[in-house]
């Protein structure tokens, strides 16, 4: 019986070695020793201080923007209806133009799932392009990278808008934070 248990244990250990340890070791070895080109992000324009951003609201609501030593805070207070927006807009010192493989990268944190973060790129003052509208079900930072070619954006940028959108009627104070905003190029 002891010999059978020893043999069974040896076979189980051999299977673990064969099915788990060797494949993981092989993949790790390939990743570290074999050159493989991948997707690289290179920042062309960054805004981490969030200077020169202006407030815009689409309804008579209480809300505004503030810079808390880095992150840009957009907030709403008081009773609100769904669909109301408070935006931070920047028209000065923004990227000159967009190429076909440009991206926008930003980290976002929101107070609840009742509000959505919203990123809008204006190529002129009549054509806004919503490139991100998203809710978050936790209060952690989320890094978003959006390839702008999906939105057929190219040419000059007139304005960048970082905003929050109220999704449903509420009287709870809500906010969205933005940090690490950058535009860049994808290198393959």
CATH class of 40-187: mainly beta
Residue indicated by tokens 């070791």: 25
Stretch 69-92: mean pLDDT, rounded? 89
| Res 112: pLDDT | 93
Lowest average pLDDT, out of 28-42, 123-137, 174-188, goes to: 28-42
Distance set, CA 71 to CA 26, 74, 93, 104, 114 (Å)? 42, 10, 18, 16, 21
**Domain extents in the chain:** 1-36, 40-187
d(CA 49, CA 144): 18
d(CA 85, CA 83): 6
pTM: 0.75
Lowest average pLDDT, out of 47-61, 81-95, 170-184, goes to: 47-61
């Amino acid at each position: 019986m002891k010999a059978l248990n020893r043999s069974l244990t040896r076979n189980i250990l051999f299977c673990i070695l064969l099915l788990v340890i060797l494949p993981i070791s092989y993949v790790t070895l390939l990743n570290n020793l074999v050159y493989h080109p991948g997707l690289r992000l290179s920042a062309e324009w960054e805004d981490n201080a969030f200077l020169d951003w202006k407030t815009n609201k689409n309804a008579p609501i209480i809300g505004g923007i503030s810079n808390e030593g880095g992150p840009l805070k957009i907030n709403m207070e008081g009773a609100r209806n769904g669909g109301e927006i408070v935006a931070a807009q920047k028209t000065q010192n923004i990227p000159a133009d967009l190429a076909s493989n440009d991206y926008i990268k930003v980290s976002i944190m929101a107070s609840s799932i009742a509000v959505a973060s919203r990123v809008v790129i204006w190529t002129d003052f009549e054509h806004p392009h919503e490139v991100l509208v998203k809710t978050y079900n936790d209060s952690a930072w989320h890094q978003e990278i959006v390839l702008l070619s999906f939105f057929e954006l190219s040419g000059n940028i007139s304005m960048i808008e970082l905003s929050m959108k109220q999704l449903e009627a509420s009287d709870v104070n809500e906010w969205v934070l933005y940090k690490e905003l950058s535009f860049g190029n994808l290198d393959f």
